Amino acid sequence: MSNSFEKVLVGKAFGLADDKKEHSSKTSASDRMAALYRDQWSGWKNKFLKYDKQLIGLASGQEDNIQTESLARDSVTRGFEVAREDGRIGRERLGLSMSNEEQNYIDKQSKKSEMTAMVTNVGKARLHADDRDKQILSGGMATGLSSNQFQGV
């Protein structure tokens, strides 16, 4: 068999009768791949672009971070209010009373503990919000996040 005969035989087997048809734009693999990529891109834009824009807005905005910090502050404040009220009710139930000096000392210690908890929880909330923003912007590829340093991970 000659080379030209093999070329024609193989060309017919794959739907390519001659060299001119082999290079036409209708059957070109690169043109077909380009059309496929265009279709995939337009499909992605139609389905997912709006969600990407929402995530970018969430990651680049500060409203959610401010809300997270506010929730951390509120939860600490409410928790300590409940603890102080429980202590007062418990003492009343047992018929115990404290002098003004003792009450001032307890209040001072409670406020110190509350402020320490507040700083810790707001700091953790900020760290978590920052890590979440990095995760969103990196598409989930952000590793070695700052919160892991504090947890020993």
pLDDT tens track for 60-92 = 778 888 888 999 999 999 999 999 999 999 999
- List, for residues 22-49, the tens digit of each pLDDT value: 555 556 888 888 889 999 999 989 998 8
Stated as kind and residue range, the H or E segment containing 88 is helix 63-94
- List, for residues 85-131, the tens digit of each pLDDT value: 999 999 999 999 889 999 999 999 999 999 999 999 999 999 988 88
Q: Minimal CA–CA distance to 60: which of 144, 111, 120, 132?
A: 132
pLDDT reported for residue 137: 77
pLDDT reported for residue 28: 80
